[in-house]
Amino acid sequence: MSVSHTRRVQILYKRALRSLGDWYEYRPRYRYEAVLMRDRFDKNRNVKDHREIEALCNAAEQELFETQHPQPRKFPESPGGVAYEREVIPPDWILDYWHPLEKAQYPEFFARREQRKKEYLEKWDVEHGKGSNAH
């Protein structure tokens, strides 16, 4: 799937700003460089020739690749970040394997859960037909 020209430029601009943030921790210097970057984008704002637009985008992406920081910042919760998938949320089916004595400690919860599982299976049968979930 191809991305529209406008969206491609937006993504490129955002990546360029993130790259500047990797290089300049000092906020006033970052802002100065960001203003210069915005000016570079604005100078090519009114280009209409699609071949020229493609060439400009390719050149900008190549420049961004060549000038990227060797250790870019990553958001902690993003893939590659220090807290990515740190807290694993167990799936619901784990509760089916609880021992009956463990389930007996929470009778209202498990009664409601069994009722909802039954309602879900009935809804499945109405939408997809009985036995259609077997392969």
Amino acid, single-letter form, for residue 57 = C
Residues 6 or more apart in contact with residue 77 via CB below 8 angstroms: 83, 84
Rounded to whole angstroms, the Cα distance separating 117 from 111 reads 10
* Range 121-130 contact pairs with CB under 8 angstroms and sequence separation of 24 or more: none
Flag whether pLDDT at 135 surpasses 60: no
Q: What is the pLDDT confidence band of residue 107, given thresholds at 50, 70 and 90?
A: very high
Rounded to whole angstroms, the Cα distance separating 116 from 124 reads 12
Residues in the chain: 135
- The CA-CA-CA angle for residues 75, 77, 80, to 5°, reads 70
Residues 6 or more apart in contact with residue 72 via CB below 8 angstroms: 18, 19, 22
Q: Look at residue 129 in the predicted model and tell me its pLDDT.
A: 85
Give the pLDDT mean for 10-19: 95
Taking only the tens place, the pLDDT of each residue in 29-57 is: 999 999 999 999 999 999 888 899 999 99
